[in-house]
């Protein structure tokens, strides 16, 4: 009976001990699991952030903007004009052209003919030789605008303007080309020139040069 009592008394103690051991082995496992869940959340957040950064960079790099182009200055050369019954205007304007490429790729453009307009009529032209602007760089070069009034079919307005001593001109050109982004990726882009200016015949200079 005593032995039985002892064994009965021991039994619960043994089971208690066993369950304690079980506790001891299970508890750290739960903590580690929780820690790994947090790890996973952090990793996921980092991965999403990384994806977002890559996406934004890809959007910026792969969607280049048209290069900016403008005339930074225009000087007057060989000005000849006639007043009265036979009005005429012959002048060469030397324009300093600025092309600004803000993209992460080189812009290469083809030979382009630009025009000089008097009102809506073409009075002159200018030639752009093919060229390139490196990534995030600005190029400057000179282009001659040859203005010849014999191109006009109607010179009545010109006659009035020559008498006033002021002739309004606009210059237009669309430099078409490719933006070379990665080794094998290129995208078509166009640099659009559109400038207005006033030729003062008295001072033989350009006034109010404005590009958009
Ligand atoms: C104007 O320029 C044209 C073409 O260069 C030339 O043929 C013409 O003689 C010039 N006119 C005058 C009056 O200089
Ligand atoms: C530019 O105009 C000239 C004629 O003045 C022509 O021979 C040439 O092909 C034109 N170039 C382009 C790129 O249109
Ligand atoms: C054009 O001729 C008128 C007189 O006929 C004169 O007053 C004017 O100054 C001349 N303009 C120019 C730009 O030579
Ligand atoms: C020329 O341009 C100026 C502004 O730049 C404008 O005030 C003027 O009316 C224009 N003249 C003509 C004849 O279009
Ligand atoms: C053209 O130039 C002359 C000489 O510099 C100046 O007196 C005149 O005011 C100018 N004309 C205009 C419309 O600005």
**Pocket-testing residue among 203, 206, 208, ligand 5, by greatest number of atoms within 8 A of Cβ:** 203
The closest residue, in CA terms, to atom 2 on ligand 2 is 113
DSSP state of 45: H
Phi (first) and psi of residue 67, to 5 degrees? -65, 150
The closest residue, in CA terms, to atom 14 on ligand 4 is 168
Closest CA to 207 of 146, 148, 166: 166
E-strand ranges in the chain read: 68-82, 88-101, 106-109, 112-118, 121-128, 131-133, 137-148, 166-182, 185-200, 205-211
Helix (H, G, I), strand (E, B) or coil at 156: helix
- Grouped pLDDT means (10 residues each) for the chain, 212 residues: 48 51 56 78 93 88 92 96 89 98 95 97 97 97 96 91 96 97 88 98 97 94
pLDDT recorded at residue 36:
80
204 lines ligand 5 (CB under 6 A): no
Query: Would you mind telling me the total number of residues written for the chain in this entry?
Result: 212
104 lines ligand 1 (CB under 6 A): no
Q: Give me the residue spans of the domains in the chain.
A: 18-61, 68-211
pTM for the model: 0.77
Residue 101 and residue 200: Cα distance in Å, rounded? 32
Neighbouring CB atoms inside 10 A of 165's CB total 13
pLDDT recorded at residue 8:
47
CATH architecture of 68-211: Sandwich (2.60)
Closest CA to 165 of 79, 73, 78: 79
For residue 203, report the distance from its CA to the centre of ligand 5, in Å.
6
pLDDT recorded at residue 38:
85
| Tokens 């006009």 belong to residue | 152
Q: Counting atoms of ligand 1 from 1, which one is nearest the CA of 149?
A: 1
For residue 170, report the distance from its CA to the centre of ligand 3, in Å.
23
Q: Both tokens of residue 175?
A: 């430099």
């Amino acid at each position: 009976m005593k032995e039985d009592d002892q064994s009965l008394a021991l039994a619960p103690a043994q089971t208690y001990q066993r369950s304690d051991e079980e506790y001891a082995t299970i508890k750290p496992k739960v903590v580690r699991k929780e820690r790994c869940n947090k790890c996973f959340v952090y990793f996921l957040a980092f991965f999403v952030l990384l994806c977002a950064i890559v996406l934004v960079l890809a959007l910026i790099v792969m969607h280049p903007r048209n290069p900016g182009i403008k005339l930074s200055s225009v000087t007057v050369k060989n000005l000849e004009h006639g007043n009265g019954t036979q009005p005429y205007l012959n002048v060469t304007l030397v324009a300093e052209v600025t092309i600004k490429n803000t993209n992460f790729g080189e812009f290469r453009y083809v030979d382009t003919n630009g025009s000089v307009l008097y009102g809506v009529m073409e009075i002159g032209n200018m030639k752009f030789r093919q060229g390139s602007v490196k990534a995030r760089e600005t190029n400057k070069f000179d282009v001659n605008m040859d203005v010849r009034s014999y191109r006009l079919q109607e010179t009545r307005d010109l006659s009035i303007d020559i008498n006033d001593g002021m002739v309004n001109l606009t210059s237009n050109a669309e430099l078409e080309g490719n933006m070379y982004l990665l080794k094998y990726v290129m995208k078509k882009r166009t640099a659009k020139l559109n400038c207005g200016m006033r030729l003062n015949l008295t001072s033989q200079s350009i006034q109010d040069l404005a590009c958009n």
